[in-house]
């Protein structure tokens, strides 16, 4: 396992170095952020998808372990969502002059942040454990579907300042695309690692509580 983390560390360092080393992309100011903000946003969605999957598994099997995994995925996802919002604002400032440009995608990622902040409000207001697991699991499903609606469907009805597919698909050079996807991979690894740690910690806490009863 340690080798894995070392590899991840090296990978991310390489990504970060390259992000600053590569020349600027035409049409995009503040270019290092371009390799961080979209990948972080993508990983946010992966995190919330994972939270939903574990939520669904809880609803199917009623096993508390799925609730632990679901909530930890949401927790790390919330962190990534916060970072996505912040890096988005930084990019907005660099490109369009203001931190908040009311661009639909920028607004959406912030609303997604609100959705998952609300998830934790729900969690802390339900003392009964059975109910808590059940209601939170359902909310992860509603939350993810809403997040999809917000990020991918809503922007279609208004105009967007977002550069969108410029980086992911055609219209950019190979090194740019390579680095972009390398960054996505790296951040996914970071997410998986953080989630695993959080889950382990939660399980240990549960065990300690059980033993002290």
The residue within the footprint of other proteins, chosen from 28, 83, 154, 202 (CB under 8 A), is: 154
- The Cα 209–Cα 139 span in angstroms is 26
The residue within the footprint of other proteins, chosen from 20, 97, 125, 170 (CB under 8 A), is: 125
Residue 180 binds other proteins (CB under 8 A): no
> Where does this chain touch other proteins (CB under 8 A) — which range of 40-48, 75-83, 151-159, 177-185?
151-159
- The Cα 140–Cα 69 span in angstroms is 12
The residue within the footprint of other proteins, chosen from 150, 179, 184, 195 (CB under 8 A), is: 150
Which residues in 192-211 contact other proteins (CB under 8 A)?
209-210
Distance (Å) of CA 184 to CA 21, 60, 116, 192: 18, 31, 21, 12
The residue within the footprint of other proteins, chosen from 100, 129, 197, 207 (CB under 8 A), is: 129
Distance (Å) of CA 92 to CA 101, 103, 111, 163, 190: 7, 9, 17, 11, 25
- The Cα 182–Cα 152 span in angstroms is 23
Q: Using CB under 8 A as the criterion, which residues of the chain lie in contact with other proteins when the complex forms?
A: 59, 62, 108, 111-112, 114-115, 118, 121-122, 125-131, 134-135, 137-139, 141-143, 145-146, 149-150, 153-154, 156-158, 209-210, 213
């Amino acid at each position: 396992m340690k080798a894995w983390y070392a590899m991840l560390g090296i990978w991310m360092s390489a990504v970060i170095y390259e992000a600053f080393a590569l020349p600027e992309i035409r049409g995009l100011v503040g270019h290092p952020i371009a390799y961080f903000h979209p990948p972080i946003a993508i990983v946010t969605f992966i995190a919330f998808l994972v939270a939903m999957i574990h939520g669904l598994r809880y609803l199917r099997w009623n096993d508390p372990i799925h609730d632990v995994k679901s909530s930890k995925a949401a927790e790390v996802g919330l962190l990534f969502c916060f970072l996505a919002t912040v890096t988005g604002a930084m990019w907005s400032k660099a490109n369009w002059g203001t931190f908040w440009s009311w661009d639909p995608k920028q607004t959406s990622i912030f609303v997604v942040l609100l959705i998952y902040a609300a998830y934790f409000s729900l969690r802390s207001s339900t003392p009964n454990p059975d109910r808590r697991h059940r209601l939170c699991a359902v909310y992860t499903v509603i939350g993810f579907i809403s997040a999809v609606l917000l990020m991918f469907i809503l922007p279609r009805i208004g105009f967007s300042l977002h550069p969108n597919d410029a980086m992911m698909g055609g219209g950019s050079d190979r090194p740019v695309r390579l680095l972009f996807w390398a960054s996505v991979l790296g951040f996914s690894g970071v997410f998986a690692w953080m989630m695993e740690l959080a889950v382990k910690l939660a399980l240990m806490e549960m065990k300690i509580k059980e033993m002290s009863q």
